[in-house]
Structure 1
Amino acid sequence: MKHRDVELLAIGAGPANLALAVALEELAPGGLATGSLVIEQAGTVAWQPGMLLPEAQSQVSFLKDLVTLRNPCSRFSFVNYLHAVGRLSEFINVGSLWPYRIEISDYLAWVADSLSRVRLEYNRRCTAVEPLRDAEGALTGWLTRLADGSTIRSRYLVMGIGRDVHVPEAFAALPARRVVHSTRYVQRIAELPKGVPYRVAVIGGGQSAAEMFDAVQRDLPGCQPTLVMRSIGLKTYENSKFTNELYFPSAVDAFFGARQEARRQILDEMHITNYSGLNPATLDKLYHALYLDRLTGKGRLRVVTMHDVTSAREDSDEVVLELTDRRTGETEELRCDLVLLGTGFVRAMPGLVRGLAGALGLEDVSVNRTYRLAVPGPATAACYLQGVNEATHGIADSLLSMQAVRAWEITADILADRAEGGPRSLAAVPSQAVAVPVPAN
């Protein structure tokens, strides 16, 4: 077993913590940046690797990269990446604000490789985080345990691990070889033999489900896909310029300071801007594919709306899904060979955060305006949560829109904390903050 100390440990090398690493290099190039470590459980940096489909585009402008909204002159910008790899002229000529998803992923890997002060280590899977206290009970740091048995002690901890994958209960008993969540689509489909006439059920009515419904027709050429959703049909995102202003970093202050009922209204009305919708190009492509399928009489494609999957079981060499019509209550069976889940992520705090909350004796998880976890008693250490604070910081919290400015705010808070020194209490939760209950494990 190995143990080491760092001043700041960031868990996860996704966009959130890469933006933080860049902010540390640019704003705190001395002791804090060189004393910081980012760990990533995978062997490389990739953005949504399970859905790196050839034609998929980002839904966010390239200007909302890891740095531009904080520092437009940064060498870590997406524009500088394009220049470095010799593709700037071609990208300009395409005339789009929205890069391909594979470009964003490559950009993130380029940023990771370009870090010169903050260290980044791969194949480091975190299994638990424990608080460290001195003899008087003051919180002094964090002990992070890794899967290889090693430990890392840090004064500052930043968790940018994303939310846990959501597998609906109806599918929990199915064998893993039968079920593919969207986060593993590319890897799992590549393992399957191509010429088999698979019957494929795709579950969900959002962008991920629609993309898999489209992609599987190419990836498994002889398949017969059925798209099953609870909604009345596929819908486009609501993306007016007025609602898009709620994705501005400047909108966070107004949301954080709003009353609970106002927050709920905003999140409810903004739901269709990010969830359960499709970009217009995907929607148009799917509709044309369905039209041609009907026109030619192939009957290969099927879309089932307003149905719940109420049970799923394996029967001999196939999967049997029970579908319940939300309009009539009647049920029917859908027999298939493979289930693709576009069911998103669990809305609760990730398991690693819940485990830390339990170790701290917290009944709920609360963060302040600068994303700092509220802990009881005096403390000379701090933990920050990235990408899981939609309830307190708004609809854009988990998206690329927020990365650059949020990294700036967290870095500034840490620098201020280091300058102040000495213990202080973080138990008091700001009156505007939301306490998120910690469910039992």
Structure 2
Amino acid sequence: MANREVELLAVGAGPSNLALAVALEELAPGLARDSLVIERDQEVSWQKGMLLPEALSQVSFLKDLVTLRNPRSKFSFLNYMHAIGRLDQFVNMGCFVPYRIELAGYLKWTAEQLSQVDVQMGRECARISPVWTNDTLTGWSAEMTDGDTIRSRYLVVGAGRDARIPEPVQGLAPERVIHSTEYLQRITKLRKDFPYRVAVIGGGQSAAELFCAVQNDLPECKPTMVMRSIGLNYYETSKFNNELFYPSFVDEFFVSRPEARKQMLKELHHTNYSGLAPGMMDSLYRSVYLDRLNGRGRLEMITTHDITSARDEGDEIVLELTDWRTGAVRQLRTDLVLLGTGFSQEMPRMVRDIAESIGLEEVSVTRDYRMVIDRPSTAACYLQGVNEATHGIADSLLSILAIRSNDILQDILTHRAAHPENTGPAHIAAAR
């Protein structure tokens, strides 16, 4: 496969591109057979760093890859549970939100059920370059880390956002800093009998999960949770707020004025960020309460503090914390830093590199998630999961996957119909 041409290349085999692959198989089998999904990992995985045994999803099982678009699809979460013989048990739980590990299994199963879309694992994309023909963008050339090249007319980027690493800790020894996306893979490599001093950074669900998990994974550790907020808060989860996660709300959000979008995102912040699920909040408070009751002094929480600097000093890390209320500065000496700091709101590096390669000063998309290209083009690039600023708070979540995949697919089909002479790998090959 040193050089291969396909009509559609999707980068990343996460929920977004798997939903698109399902839509392709159900609605456009011809295009499906000329589509390829690549994934850098060796297997389909989802939030593998945080697949903690008791971690629940925050989204209903009905908001899977397909049900809101096609309730009768064989690719539904319920059909997955039936296929593995656990549907009775799941129904008996009486809960709309499955365990995170169940959703991860569902995504892997879905990839295995695809019969027309080609999904290839262990395929990491090093760079993507535009293909030009007489000053017209006619395709994309994706170079793999193994030197192979895949050319396509349509490109769909669904590789997720980059992890957010706070600037003060970026210079620390990497073996002492673990972002939540790598937690399970790396924590298992540490000694269980060592009394690590652990700093957990963040005040949201991920940080709380890290704070609880590390107590079991490193039984002798002493964890300290550091946050800039005045305290931990619940997610705002009223049913009225949840209506703003409907796929239909994307239309309302997209046509709103830019300043109105910013205000809505600000007001909706606690529906998805800087908050804890009720079960996690209660469990966390009980553990802190019992620690105080028993006089152990193992668990500590530091609120209203920013990390203003950090350094490696011998065998330990020294964090400088500044209380934003008083300006007072204190030091926290620790052995390990866990980051529950989420993801950068900046466009991922891959997307920025693509935009730069075609001369775009900024990245913007249409309502149907197509990158706006201000030059003649018969090719297109679509962005999944990175358009919160224009498409609303649900854009990075599972809530809109089924409908978004249909939006993208229908736009591709319309675009192909408008340029039938440029359809197919033969045209891309000719543009070399």
TM-score band, normalised by shorter chain: over 0.9
Unaligned runs of 5+ in 1: 425-441
SS in 2 for 1:231: coil
Which stretch has the larger CA shift, 58-67 or 372-381?
A: 372-381
Give the equivalent residue in structure 1 for 2:77: 78
Q: Distance in 2 between matches of 1:323 and 1:416?
A: 54
Cα contact 1:380–1:423 (8 A) shared by 2: no
> Is structure 2 residue 56 aligned with structure 1 residue 62?
no
Tell me the equivalent position of 1:217: 215
Q: Which amino acid aligns with 2:43?
A: T
What is the distance in 2 between the residues matched to 1:225 and 1:130? 45
TM-score (ref. length: structure 2): 0.96
Report the TM-score when normalising by structure 1: 0.95
Asked if the contact 1:138–1:423 (Cα under 8 Å) also holds between the matched residues in 2, the reply is no
Q: Percent of aligned positions with the same letter in both sequences?
A: 63
1:437 is matched with which residue?
A: none
| 2:401 paired residue number | 403
From 317, 320, 338, the equivalent of 1:322 is 320
1:380–1:422: 8 Å Cα contact kept in structure 2?
no
Report the equivalent of 1:26. 26
Is 1:339–2:324 an aligned residue pair? no
Pairwise CA distance, 1:211: 0.1
How many angstroms apart in 2 are the aligned matches of 1:181 and 1:420? 45
Equivalent residue for 1:370, pick from 357, 368, 371 = 368
Instruction: Report how far residue 261 of structure 1 moved.
Output: 1.9
Separation in structure 2 between the aligned mates of residue 140 and residue 49 of structure 1, nearest angstrom: 36
Answering whether residue 30 of structure 2 is matched by residue 17 of structure 1, we say no
Cα deviation, residue 314, structure 1? 1.2
- The letter of the residue matching 1:167 is I
Correspondence for 2:196 = 198
CA offset at residue 145 of structure 1? 1.0
In 2, Cα distance between the equivalents of 1:44 and 1:33? 21
The SS at the match of 1:312 is strand
Distance, in Å, in 2 between the alignment partners of 1:264 and 1:173 is 32
The alignment covers a number of residue pairs equal to 422
Matches within 5 A, 1:41-440: 41-135=40-134, 137-421=135-419
Residue 317 of structure 1, CA deviation: 1.1
Where do 4+ consecutive residues of structure 1 move more than 6 Å? none
Aligned mates of 2:212, 2:221 — CA distance in 1 = 11
Q: Which amino acid aligns with 1:20?
A: L
Report the secondary structure of 2:223's partner residue. strand
Looking at structure 1, the residues matched to 121 and 351 of structure 2 have their Cα atoms a distance apart, in angstroms, of 21
Deviation of residue 260 (structure 1)?
1.5
- Distance in 1 (CA, whole Å) between partners of 2:374 and 2:163 is 30
In 2, distance between residues paired with 1:20 and 1:247? 19
Per-residue Cα deviation, 1:150-173 (whole angstroms, up to 9, x for no partner): 111000000001111111111011
Further displaced range: 311-320 or 285-294: 311-320
CA contact (8 A) 1:371 1:410 kept: yes
Q: Per-residue deviation at 1:243?
A: 0.8
> Which residue identity is paired with 2:18?
L
SS at match of 2:224: strand
The alpha-carbon deviation at position 377 of structure 1 amounts to: 2.3
CA distance in 1: counterparts of 2:113 and 2:85, whole angstroms: 16
1:111 Cα deviation after fit: 0.1
Q: Secondary structure at the match of 2:190?
A: coil
Q: Does the aligned pair in 2 maintain the 1:229–1:305 contact within 8 Å?
A: yes
Q: Distance in 2 between matches of 1:148 and 1:352?
A: 18
Tell me the distance in 1 between the aligned counterparts of 2:193 and 2:362. 51
Given that 1:62 and 1:98 are in contact with CA atoms closer than 8 Å, whether structure 2 keeps it comes out as yes
| Equivalence for 2:4 | 4
Could you say what secondary structure the match of 1:238 adopts? Answer: coil
Instruction: Give me the whole-angstrom Cα distance separating, in 2, the residues matched to 1:192 and 1:366.
Output: 43
Letter in 2 for 1:140: T
Aligned counterparts of 2:68 and 2:239: Cα–Cα separation in 1: 18
Post-superposition offset of 1:378: 2.0
Does the Cα contact within 8 Å between 1:379 and 1:423 map onto a contact in 2? no
Query: What's the CA shift string for 1:246-273, capped at 9, x where partnerless?
Result: 1000000000011122111110110000
Residue identity in the other structure for 1:99: P
Does the residue aligned with 1:243 lie in a helix, a strand or coil? helix
Matched to 2:113, the amino acid is S
SS of structure 1 residue aligned to 2:65: coil
Counterpart residue number, 1:439: none
1:16 Cα deviation (Å)? 0.1
- 3-state SS of paired residue (1:365): coil
Distance 2:99 2:132 in 1: 46
Deviations 1:27-57 (A, max 9, x none): 0012x00000000000011110000000000
